[in-house]
Amino acid sequence: MKLLLLIHLFLFSPSSIDKGPDTLISCHFNNVPFVEFCDFVYRESGTKIYYHESWVKGVSVSLDADKISVRDAVEQALKGSGLEVSSWNNGLVILPGEKLPRELPHFEIKKVKSDTTGGLAKQQTQSEGRYLRGRKPDVTKILQVGKHGLASRNSKVTIRGRITELQTGEPVIGATMYLEEIKSGTSSDQNGFLSMALKPGNYIAVFAYMGLESKKYQLEVLSDGEFSVEMGKSVIQMTEVVVYGDRQMSIRTKDPGLEKISAKSIKEIPMLMGERDILKVSEMLPGIVTVGEGAAGLNVRGGNYDQNAFYINRIPVYNPTHLFGFFPAFNADIINDFSIYKGHIPSRYGGRLSSIFNIIARQGNRKRFTARGGVSPVAASISVEGPLKKDKSSFLLSARSLYSDWILRKIKDPVIRTSKAGFSDYAFSWNYSLRKSQLSVFAYHSQDQFKLSNLSSYNYANSGASFDLNHNFNASMRGDFSITAAQYSFNTTDQQVPPKAY
């Protein structure tokens, strides 16, 4: 019996029973580290205190109390330290600035009518809408190129794509394709084509162009093949500016002296008497200056004005101005791309010494019919475009004319009052796309007439036409064939002195 009593007292004595945070203890401490205080509490009551040493670093305990609960003792020891004490599993947990949650947050099921959702959507603020859009999953469409079993895993294949604008179907010049896995990319040419050599596999491809909505695809490359991407217009709310360079921005592959002016920049050109002069914009570029006030012509890097060549869709234009240089010979409404070579000139342009001004006209809207025009005090212009076969064929027709004689008749000088000045120019484009070929026909004509009373007259005209055929033989070989014809004609009549008239 004595042995059983001793065992019972040993096992169930008050000092050995783990009563937890409510156990009463006596504490007499003066600037004792908190870690030693916790060891004392555990020895006296068996209560475990959970904390991180970095939270209680520098905390000292000064406490003099008899028969105080463990929870109260710890709370007084941490008073003013910003640490909170919570009970958990017959122990104490210390957290900085917060307590353990003891219950789930209150919620209730509320039935709403079907039209309530629309009302809530209307009440969303702009920032809430951006947040909700940002929480949506990033859905990436799959773009498959080639066929299974036509290429080995380790060999390289060539993929070719074409980038077009969603609203018009026209090619996008200078659009970029960037592959995130290989940290490399390429850009589209003047017909919207781009190509790249890759190993078969899956890539994340990002297509981007300023003013158009970026497209992101999972590019599944199986073998040599082709693909097409349509990019729609977008409105950009700018918070910062990130500039992505095209091929010409690469130092290793940059063409020296090449300058590009986009169609967007052409639309922002200040207008003289209602007409945009794209040649005047080039005077703001380094190395290009005008011949002089009241004269038509450009000097590029010290060269003479007749050492420059002007092309529109491969057609050479020998006199690129109207009305003594006040108007350009090109209608800005039909221009898609404008490039200037004032350094290294590619051999396909011939042997000009100073520069090449290369203009690419738009191909016309392949989605719907549109027309635009303008009337100024001295000139009028109109351009009409649309599909002949939707998404396959398109046309573009442009015309301009000058009617400035009414201004000359207001001048008191009899010689000027009886003089005449005028010009007109016309452009026509037809394009047709097949599965592997693109046909393009472009025609251009401009004419100027000047008459100084009955003393002299001067007429000149630019005419030309071009036929282009682009054919993709396969994914790694493409042919570009063109036939071009051009003619420049002029005549001068002088009757000022009859014996010397001609």
177's tokens = 């394709």
What pLDDT does residue 117 have? 46
- Distance separating alpha carbons of residues 308 and 300, to the nearest angstrom: 8
Q: Tell me the three state secondary structure of residue 339.
A: strand
Task: Tell me the per-residue pLDDT of 246-296, one tens digit each, with 9 for 90 and over.
Answer: 555 555 555 667 887 776 676 676 666 656 777 777 877 888 887 766 566
Q: Are strands 275-276 and 271-272 parallel, antiparallel or unpaired?
A: antiparallel
> Would you say 298 and 282 are in contact if contact means Cβ atoms under 8 Å apart?
yes
Q: Residue 45: pLDDT band by 50, 70, 90 thresholds?
A: confident
- Distance separating alpha carbons of residues 469 and 441, to the nearest angstrom: 9
Residue 404, Cβ density class (10 Å: 0-12 exposed, 13-18 middle, ≥19 buried): middle
What pLDDT does residue 369 have? 93
Q: Tell me the three state secondary structure of residue 340.
A: strand
Phi and psi, residue 159, nearest 5°: -105, 145
What pLDDT does residue 112 have? 58
* pLDDT averaged over every residue in the chain: 81
- Counting residues of the chain whose pLDDT is more than 70, the rounded percentage is 82
Q: What is the DSSP string of 424-477?
A: EEEEEEEEEE-SSEEEEEEEEEEEEEEEETTTEEEEEEEEEEEEEEEEEEETTE
- Distance separating alpha carbons of residues 312 and 359, to the nearest angstrom: 5
Q: Rounded mean pLDDT of 70-95?
A: 85
Task: Tell me the per-residue pLDDT of 106-161, one tens digit each, with 9 for 90 and over.
Answer: 666 766 555 544 444 455 565 565 555 554 455 578 888 888 878 777 788 999 99
Q: Rounded mean pLDDT of 347-361?
A: 83
- Distance separating alpha carbons of residues 67 and 27, to the nearest angstrom: 8
141-249 and 256-502 in the same fold: no
- Counting residues of the chain whose pLDDT is more than 90, the rounded percentage is 20
- H/E segment holding residue 478: strand 477-494
Residues 256-502, CATH architecture: Beta Complex (2.170)
In CATH, which of 1.10.3470.10, 3.40.190.10, 2.60.40.1120, 1.10.287.3240 is domain 141-249? 2.60.40.1120
What pLDDT does residue 427 have? 95
Alpha helices in 331-396 (DSSP H): none
What pLDDT does residue 322 have? 84
- Distance separating alpha carbons of residues 252 and 246, to the nearest angstrom: 12
31-35, 197-201, 254-258: range with lowest mean pLDDT: 254-258
Which range has highest mean pLDDT (345-349, 379-383, 443-447)?
443-447
What pLDDT does residue 293 have? 60
In this predicted structure, the answer to whether residue 426 has a pLDDT above a threshold of 80 is yes
More confident residue, 276 or 183: 183
What pLDDT does residue 51 have? 86
- Distance separating alpha carbons of residues 254 and 249, to the nearest angstrom: 6
- Residue 48 makes CB contacts below 8 A (sequence gap 6+) with 42, 91, 92
What pLDDT does residue 259 have? 81
Counting Cα atoms < 13 Å in the Cβ hemisphere of 110 gives 5
What pLDDT does residue 299 have? 83
Task: Tell me the per-residue pLDDT of 219-251, one tens digit each, with 9 for 90 and over.
Answer: 999 888 889 999 988 766 667 777 776 555 555
Phi and psi, residue 264, nearest 5°: -65, -40
> Would you say 27 and 64 are in contact if contact means Cβ atoms under 8 Å apart?
yes
- Which of 172, 214, 218, 210 shows the shortest CA–CA distance to 193? 172
Residue 233, Cβ density class (10 Å: 0-12 exposed, 13-18 middle, ≥19 buried): exposed
- Which of 300, 304, 353, 357 shows the shortest CA–CA distance to 328? 357
Q: Using alpha carbons, list the distances in angstroms from residue 164 to 204, 212, 480.
A: 20, 11, 19
- Distance separating alpha carbons of residues 14 and 1, to the nearest angstrom: 21
What pLDDT does residue 28 have? 84
In this predicted structure, the answer to whether residue 398 has a pLDDT above a threshold of 80 is yes
Task: Tell me the per-residue pLDDT of 442-493, one tens digit each, with 9 for 90 and over.
Answer: 999 999 998 888 889 989 999 999 999 998 888 778 899 999 999 999 999 9
Q: Residue 10: pLDDT band by 50, 70, 90 thresholds?
A: very low
Q: Where are the domains of the chain?
A: 16-96, 141-249, 256-502
Q: Per DSSP, what are the bridge partners of residue 486? A: 464
Report the CATH fold assignment for 16-96: Phage tail protein beta-alpha-beta fold (3.55.50)
